[in-house]
Amino acid sequence: MWSKLWASRMSYLFIAPFMLVFVAFIVVPVVTAIGLSLTYYNAVSSPVFIGWSNFQYLISQDLLFLKYALPNTFKFAVIVGPGGYAAAFALAWLISMLGPGLRKWVALAMYTPSLTVGIAMTIIWLPMLSGDRIGYLNSFLLNQGWIDVPKLWVTDPKLLMNSMIGVTLWSSMGVGFLAMLAGILNVDPILYEAGKIDGIRSRLQEVWYITIPSMKPQMLFGAVMAIVTTFKTGAIGVELSGKNPTPEYAGHLIVNHIHDYGFIRFEMGYAAAVSVFLLALMYVSNRLSWRLFGTKEG
């Protein structure tokens, strides 16, 4: 074994930087979170081992989590995750039909909002969703006669979640969108010609029978990125409403729950337990994505 390791020493040298970063920023934090989730730790005194008590409280007694954080997160994730994923694929497919010169500028215009979410929040979304008559959305709806009084888009508990979903969908065209666009552009044109010979007569049939099966790795990457982005989102409700917690906890997600217990109440052990629960949700969702888009060899 040692002779084989020595013979492949250059290969190990090349992967060493990745492994060091992976261990330092992925493995160690995950193991630490799992360990802290079994303790009571207030960030001042030493952790005290309490076993599964944090998880028992989380799934049976934490009414804020059970009534708001968990259902809000599922509603947000079910709409934003598949919705943003489908929108990214549809937009990538439409852009792929443009000429090369126009295509790169349209793709850049679609991708840029995901890089400048903070700036877009300040100069676009907050003025647009302002609750007075001069807010862009309220002004438009009032002028069209579709509403009689201005809507409190980001402070009304009944409207906040819808506003969060709309803003997040708009900013979901990130690296997953670029991966899908690259996958569509790299499908062998010969496959489309062969499909026409075999009886494919429409663009939708081409997408279903040729495009998607030919770009499963990019579809899988896009699905994973959509899941990670959706579940880690938490600040959007606070940024829109300007309140922490959000009005009547209407925009309270699991990430907000972790921040509440970890950095406001300093109950680090319990915050770690919630983090582990969120990690388990993300793992299950990722495994589902692998079942849908993963290859048998993967």
Residue 286 lies in a domain: yes
Q: Output the pTM of the full model.
A: 0.80
Q: What is the pLDDT of residues 198-223, one digit of tens each?
A: 888 888 888 888 888 888 888 888 87
Average pLDDT score over residue span 23-45: 93
Residue 34 lies in a domain: no
Residue 255 lies in a domain: yes
Average pLDDT score over residue span 28-35: 94
In the chain, % of residues over pLDDT 70: 95
| pLDDT for the residue 108 | 80
Average pLDDT score over residue span 160-187: 84
> CA 117, 258, 78, 123: dihedral to nearest 10 degrees?
-20
Tell me the pLDDT of the chain averaged across its residues: 86
pLDDT > 70? residue 54 = yes
Which pair of tokens denotes residue 67? 């009534």
In the chain, % of residues over pLDDT 90: 34
Residue 44 lies in a domain: no
Range of the domain at 222: 51-293
Residue 170 lies in a domain: yes
Indicate the pLDDT class of residue 298, thresholds 50, 70 and 90.
Answer: very low
Counted domains in the chain: 1
Residue 27 lies in a domain: no
Average pLDDT score over residue span 154-172: 86
Average pLDDT score over residue span 270-294: 86
Q: What is the pLDDT of residues 228-264, one digit of tens each?
A: 777 777 778 888 888 888 999 999 999 999 999 999 9
Q: Judge contact between 168 and 226, C-beta under 8 A.
A: no
| pLDDT for the residue 100 | 81
With vertex at residue 228, the alpha carbon angle to CA 226 and CA 230, rounded to the nearest 5 degrees, is 65
Residue 33 lies in a domain: no
Please give the backbone phi and psi of residue 8, each rounded to the nearest 5 degrees, phi first.
Answer: -105, 25
CATH number at residue 272: 1.10.3720.10
